[in-house]
Amino acid sequence: MNPFTPLTRQDALNTWADFLPKVAAYAGARNSVQPGHENVSRLSACIRFRTLLEDEIIHDTLKTHSFRTAEKWLQEICWRRYWRGWLETHPQVWSLWRRQVRELKHVLPAETLARARAVSAARSGVDCMDKIARELLETGYLHNHARMWWASFWVHVEQLPWELGADFFFRHLLDADPASNTLSWRWVAGLQTPGKTYLVRLSNLEKYAPSYLRENATGSERLADDIVSARVIQDTATPGAQALVQYPTSFSQTSKRIGLWMHADDLSPEIGPLRDLAPAAIFSCISNSVYQANYHLSSQRIASLHTVIRDGMERAQAHYGCPATVLAADDQAQALGVWARDQALTDVIAFAPMVGPTRDLLPRLKQQLEALKIPLTLIRRPSDTIAFSFATAGFFPFWQKMSRHLNPTAAAC
């Protein structure tokens, strides 16, 4: 088990059981960045891959604590769903960011690229920021407050492109989520909420991470409150929201030869709307070469993907009682098509991938299955359908609706 972030379901359940009693203290303790990070749950990676579900955490929380006591914690759990819901209606933000990452590496001045490499290698000269970068490189985990400080340092102090900073996080964070990562960086840069930036402040670090500063003081004068100022950045993303794609939230099985495709966006099909499915076979695909060539993921990040996918497949095989195949293939769409053909499937079903790398596979994947005359049915969890429908503006309008949904008794008072 990674000491900072559990990945398998059993490790996640153990970590959650230990943290659940601490939820009452979360609101007051969450901003402190402490060695070991015992004041926060460290469940972000298993929630990202859904080896542990938000629905389970919310259920356990409200069974143990009052809504008022746990509200800040519940907000934190719902932030990822908010970001995912927002990106579902703004997928162009993801595709533009990926394109900009590729282009910037070819058009930026050599000295800018060299500085970006130095800062991301923990050689900025600001020791407390370099400590954060080293922690990310070594563990694949960062406290959320540390992420915000470092992102702001990159954008507003170093004045480096936010796109490359977001790419650095995406390559190394074990919990890297296309929506949360991309949109959080846009927020720090002042793009997600126009005119609102997040500025790293020395006084904030003195308050919430005193040990970081005591042990890593060199260069911290660059973070002085009266020195750091917002950098104005032009947003190049196409404005406007698309309609939220509607997926069914349940499935009635009419064929015996159904295949279940599992992917890293949701690895607990045995819980929820696919619980009673009777698949003939289960499939997932891992592609180290694609992860490295397309996204330059760290070896630690790739290893975490192997861990969560194999854990999910083992649980699914035990639950459904059918063969489960994990293939290593450069062309994941073609591999799924070959598997579906060899298994003589009449249908393939899966949870709808979120905007991101897996969603980007869908056009070719559908093409492969259509050539075999095998329909692909995508399912969305009912709770995602509800939450995503609320994510039409900022987080706090979202939370007003979400809190009424989670706590209808209070809403009726």
35 secondary structure, DSSP code = T
Residues 33, 73: contact at Cβ < 8 Å? no
pLDDT recorded at residue 254: 82
Contact 20, 61 (CB under 8 A): yes
pLDDT at 150: 99
> Which residues face 351 on adjacent strands?
379
pLDDT at 122 over 50: yes
pLDDT digit string, tens, across residues 67-91: 999 999 999 999 999 999 999 999 9
**132 touches 149 (CB < 8 A):** yes
pLDDT at 410 over 60: no
The full DSSP string for 254-271 is --S-EEEE-BTTB--TTS
pLDDT exceeds 60 at position 250: yes
CA atoms of 44 and 137, how far apart (whole Å): 17
Instruction: Considering only residues 409 and 249, tell me which one the structure prediction assigns the higher pLDDT.
Output: 249
Residue type, 11: D
405 CB-contact burial (10 Å; exposed 0-12 / middle 13-18 / buried 19+): middle
**Residue 240 pLDDT > 70:** yes
According to the model, what pLDDT value does residue 412 have?
42
SS3 breakdown of the chain: % helix, strand, coil, rounded to 5?
A: 55, 5, 35
- Residue 373 burial class via C-beta count within 10 angstroms: exposed 0-12, middle 13-18, buried 19 and up: exposed
**DSSP letter string, 66-130:** -HHHHHHHHHHHHHHHHHHHHHHT-HHHHHHHHHHHHHHHHHS-HHHHHHHHHHHTT-SS-HHHH
Residue limits of CATH 3.40.50.620 in the chain = 258-380
C-alpha to C-alpha distances, 298 to 10, 134, 182, 239, nearest whole angstrom: 25, 14, 18, 32
Is the sign of the CA dihedral 49, 53, 54, 57 positive or negative?
A: negative
Mean pLDDT of the chain: 95
Q: Amino acid identity, residue 299?
A: S
For residue 238, count CB atoms less than 10 angstroms from its CB and return exposed for 0-12, middle for 13-18, buried for 19 or more: exposed
236-249 mean pLDDT: 90
User: What is the per-residue pLDDT for 239?
Assistant: 75
CA-CA-CA-CA dihedral for 183, 188, 189, 191, to nearest 10:
50
**Does CATH number 3.40.640.10 belong to domain 94-223?**
no
pLDDT over 60 at 413, yes or no: no
Angle at 180 between CA 200 and CA 112, to 5 degrees: 55
Mean pLDDT of 265-276: 98
pLDDT, tens digit (0-9, with 9 covering 90-100), for 319-362: 999 999 999 998 999 999 999 999 999 999 999 999 999 999 99
The SS3 call for residue 378 is strand
| Cβ-contact 279, 326 below 8 angstroms | no
Q: Where in the chain is the domain with CATH 1.10.579.10?
A: 94-223
Average pLDDT over residues 246-257: 90
For the chain, percent of residues with pLDDT exceeding 70: 98
Residue type, 382: P
What pLDDT score does 1 carry? 57
> What is the maximal distance between C-alpha atoms in the chain?
67
Q: Is pLDDT of 35 > 90?
A: no
Could you tell me the pTM of the whole model? Answer: 0.96
CATH code linked to domain 258-380 = 3.40.50.620
